Chains A and B, each alone.
Chain A
Amino acid sequence: NAGVTQTPKFQVLKTGQSMTLQCAQDMNHEYMSWYRQDPGMGLRLIHYSVGAGITDQGEVPNGYNVSRSTTEDFPLRLLSAAPSQTSVYFCASTTSNQPQHFGDGTRLSIL
């Protein structure tokens, strides 16, 4: 099992550009989530999904969109990147209140 796979690992964008961060898991977990990690802030929940076709907002959803068309994939979209979205993004998955499995993150810089 690969676990949770995030791509790309690094990305540099210009302000106003759009991009999609990919997340895939092969554990058949129903619950997936996106976090951002900023220095001194811990991890903050952006969006989450409790199953295919169901998504909801977390703590800091503004500027981000998500969709969940399959159990395996949970992409995060930045429609118009802003410097404030420079961060490290982590995707995680879990099932039935078990510990979460994290990907290795996407390091995103917005100039």
Chain B
Amino acid sequence: SQQGEEDPQALSIQEGENATMNCSYKTSINNLQWYRQNSGRGLVHLILIRSNEREKHSGRLRVTLDTSKKSSSLLITASRAADTASYFCATNKRGNNRLAFGKGNQVVVIP
């Protein structure tokens, strides 16, 4: 069943602004992953955060995980036009490699 649910689903921002996306899930997880999808392409992994971690950074990306609230957020700082894409969260339950994806956030960065 679908676990990740991102909010908001569409976001339009000016270049240089920050973009924040949220993801909620329903059951216990082993890790939560964020992916980016450019138009017409496959998904590319951004960050994996494990259930015992609270925050992780990668370049201009910051991911938080709150297991008590079953939620995660992805922050893109100082956005660029090249950040225009769809962003998906996906949850991985304990003991397997299966991922359950959310419906995705479409982010448009206006130059």
Q: Which residues of A contact B (CB under 8 A)?
A: 4, 31, 33, 35, 40-45, 48, 50, 58-59, 90, 92, 94-105
Residues of B within 8 A of A50 (CB): 96-97
B34-64, CB under 8 A of A: which get 1 and which 0?
0100000111110010000000000000000
* Number of CB contacts from chain A to chain B under 8 A: 60
Residues of B within 8 A of A97 (CB): 30-31, 92, 97
Task: Verify B98–A99 contact, CB threshold 8 A.
Answer: no
Task: Verify A42–B104 contact, CB threshold 8 A.
Answer: yes
For chain B, the bracket of interface size reads 20 to 34
CA distance A45 to B42 in the complex (A): 15
Asked if B25 is at the interface (CB within 8 A of a chain A CB), the reply is no
Asked if B33 is at the interface (CB within 8 A of a chain A CB), the reply is yes
Task: Verify B97–A104 contact, CB threshold 8 A.
Answer: no
Which of B2, B44, B96 is A42 in contact with, Cβ under 8 Å? B2
Task: Verify A103–B42 contact, CB threshold 8 A.
Answer: yes
Task: Verify A40–B41 contact, CB threshold 8 A.
Answer: no
Task: Verify A100–B103 contact, CB threshold 8 A.
Answer: no
Lowest 9 A-B CB distances belong to which pairs?
A102-B42, A99-B45, A42-B103, A43-B101, A31-B97, A42-B101, A102-B43, A104-B42, A99-B48
Task: Verify A94–B97 contact, CB threshold 8 A.
Answer: yes
Asked if B110 is at the interface (CB within 8 A of a chain A CB), the reply is no
Most buried by A among B43, B97, B98, B100: B97
Task: Verify A100–B45 contact, CB threshold 8 A.
Answer: yes
CA distance A92 to B98 in the complex (A): 11
Asked if B1 is at the interface (CB within 8 A of a chain A CB), the reply is yes
Task: Verify B33–A99 contact, CB threshold 8 A.
Answer: yes
Q: Which residue of B lies closest to A103 (CB)?
A: B42
Task: Verify B97–A90 contact, CB threshold 8 A.
Answer: no
CA distance A90 to B35 in the complex (A): 14
Task: Verify A33–B98 contact, CB threshold 8 A.
Answer: yes
Which of A31, A42, A48 is B102 in contact with, Cβ under 8 Å? A42
